[in-house]
Structure 1
Amino acid sequence: MFKGSIVALITPMDEKGQICRTSLKKLINYHVVNKTQAIVSVGTTGESATLSQEEHIHVVMLTLELSDERIPIIAGTGANATTEAISLTKRFEKSGISGCLTVTPYYNRPTQEGLYQHFKAISEHTELPQILYNVPSRTGCDLLPETVARLSQLKNIIGIKEATGDLSRINKIKELVQNDFLLISGDDATALDFMQLGGQGVISVTANIAAKEMRKMCSYALKGDFISARSVNKRLMLLHEALFIEPNPIPIKWLAKKIGLIKHDTLRLPMTPILDSTCFKLEKAIQYANLKTL
């Protein structure tokens, strides 16, 4: 369940900014039909930064309910306060959640020892599998390979979503961890290269609107058929890149609405509506990828 194409699911909202159950159900059904390996609920792409903790829990539990055990659900449970991350993680114990994705504490800029103690404390308070999440461009801190190796020794820390885009990280981490420690890309544009170097999958933004294509690309890569995987990925590359012209999830929400997966592309401040110039580039990318509207 933690390999292949895993979608970093958007959180659909109505025109008033409230969670849209109808669109969320449609999104989940789309991923079930297209055999996405798992859903990450309320990660960065799911706008965890602008949801209250009550809303955060509600969206994860609603995603669980609507998935009806048809696809594994991974909950985003990171926070920049260790006690808050522990509280959020414990809330999902025995809920049916398959695991947690826990981002490094943002803004605080902790030392490597601080990062180790943070994740160790979370690990000690739960039986749920934990996937570390390293995305320095957003958090202001970098979880280094040596610290990942220390954390990999803890009982329920099973892998890392590595979103630096630095492919040299893969070998550095692989040299320091056991073979069963999962390496998952957090960067769509380099995900295939990441997998060819030994990664097991990607937690993908692109998969929100190209679920079938991302699943096929990952499936080929896991089988070692990188010629077929690159053929699929070539069509998606403009899309991988265009989705980050503006901060995620502004572009992906606009595209999800355009192809009919959600009713509204509502965002919460400080996220603002997409620029016309970005829409033009996204339309070119989606045409090149040959994705169909629903």
Structure 2
Amino acid sequence: MKFEGTYVAMVTPFDENKQIDEEGFRSNINYLIDQGVDGLVGAGTTGESATLNHEEHQKVIEILVDEVDGRVEAIAGTGSNATSEALSLTKFAADAGADGALLITPYYNKPQQHALVDHYSTIAAACDIPIIAYNVPSRTGSDIAVETAVELAKVEGIEAIKEASGSVDKVSDIYRALSREGLEDDFNILSGEDSLTLPLMAVGATGVISASANIDARRMVLMVNSILNDDYTRAMELHYEMVDLIRALFIESNPVPVKTAMNLMGLPAGPFRQPLCEMKEDNLEILKKALKESDLI
């Protein structure tokens, strides 16, 4: 499976009791599909997966697959710091009909590089679903090395990596290493850093899994499609149109600014689950200014 284009790391909207707002989630799915996205990711970091219990996690995946109904790719976040739990969630996603599974590297445990290969290989061998490894060392304390990414690319069923290490050099090195092994067409790299999507795609990434696209999917889709069509002039224009908004959306821990922006725009988002809480007032003003300048509020 070729993972290419714009995927949205969706928020999980909550009602006033901080329970999953199913109607709001379905509404957001349809809104984003109408914006032209290529895929939607549910129950990932932006979806506050860390505070979803197992039953809620499965519910989000079920709603996503049901509402998408084959119109775009439905990707389930199924990672965990326990291989057994990640395996259980990935099997559930496969049985539910998801098109792929996004698995963050086990957090806190800090597994060795060969242990990361074993972790992902164990799940890929047991689950009939394309797997995207998710590398975000700032959150997990674990970084997938270039050589490890190449080893993962050789494992049947592991089809891509979401790279959020914040390094253009890292993605460049991964792509070059894949090319040396003849794997560059069989294993995709997806940007996990919204503000770096343009440069990461310039050195080999094929798309983005974007949190900011919850807010401005239209322009993210236009930029990514421009890059895929080798129109870097237009892509650069769109990058600079979005960059201040993207920075404002990460001024505090994701997804706090994103959910705040959605609430300001009248999109279903609702409150946060602790330990996340409302934004500081000065940061909120920066976010509001960026939204106004982008004609979103």
TM normalised by structure 1 equals 0.96
Distance in 2 separating the partners of 1:26 and 1:165: 32
Distance in 1 separating the partners of 2:160 and 2:197: 16
Q: Find the partner of 1:269 among 267, 274, 279.
A: 274
In structure 1, what is the equivalent of residue 23 of structure 2? 22
In structure 2, what is the equivalent of residue 116 of structure 1? 117
In structure 2, what is the equivalent of residue 99 of structure 1? 100
Q: Find the partner of 1:214 among 217, 220, 223.
A: 220
Q: Find the partner of 1:229 among 210, 228, 235.
A: 235
Q: Give the AA of the match of 2:220.
A: M
- Aligned: 1:196 with 2:202: yes
Q: Deviations over 1:178-229 (max 9, x none)?
A: 1221010000011111111121011001100101111001000111101101
Distance in 2 separating the partners of 1:169 and 1:282: 30
SS of the equivalent of 2:108 reads: coil
Q: Aligned Cα RMSD in Å?
A: 1.1
Distance in 2 separating the partners of 1:153 and 1:234: 37
In structure 1, what is the equivalent of residue 184 of structure 2? 179
In structure 1, what is the equivalent of residue 257 of structure 2? 251
Question: Alignment identity in percent?
Answer: 40
Q: How does 1:60-139 map to 2 (within 5 A)?
A: 60-139=61-140
Please state which structure has a larger fraction of its residues in helix. 2
Distance in 2 separating the partners of 1:277 and 1:93: 43
Distance in 1 separating the partners of 2:3 and 2:117: 23
Q: Give the AA of the match of 2:210.
A: S
Q: Give the AA of the match of 1:39.
A: L
Q: Tell me by how many angstroms 1:230 deviates.
A: 1.1
Distance in 2 separating the partners of 1:277 and 1:223: 40
In structure 2, what is the equivalent of residue 50 of structure 1? 51
Contact 1:235 1:288 in 2 (8 A): no
In structure 2, what is the equivalent of residue 278 of structure 1? 283
Distance in 1 separating the partners of 2:68 and 2:234: 30
Q: Tell me by how many angstroms 1:235 deviates.
A: 1.2
SS of the equivalent of 1:17 reads: coil
In structure 1, what is the equivalent of residue 153 of structure 2? 152
Gaps of 5+ in 1: none
Distance in 2 separating the partners of 1:266 and 1:63: 20
Contact 1:12 1:265 in 2 (8 A): yes
Distance in 1 separating the partners of 2:257 and 2:137: 21
SS of the equivalent of 2:166 reads: coil
Q: How many residue pairs are counted as aligned between the two chains? A: 291
Q: Find the partner of 1:238 among 235, 244, 257.
A: 244
SS of the equivalent of 2:267 reads: coil
Following TM superposition, where does structure 1 have runs of at least 4 consecutive aligned residues deviating by more than 6 angstroms? none
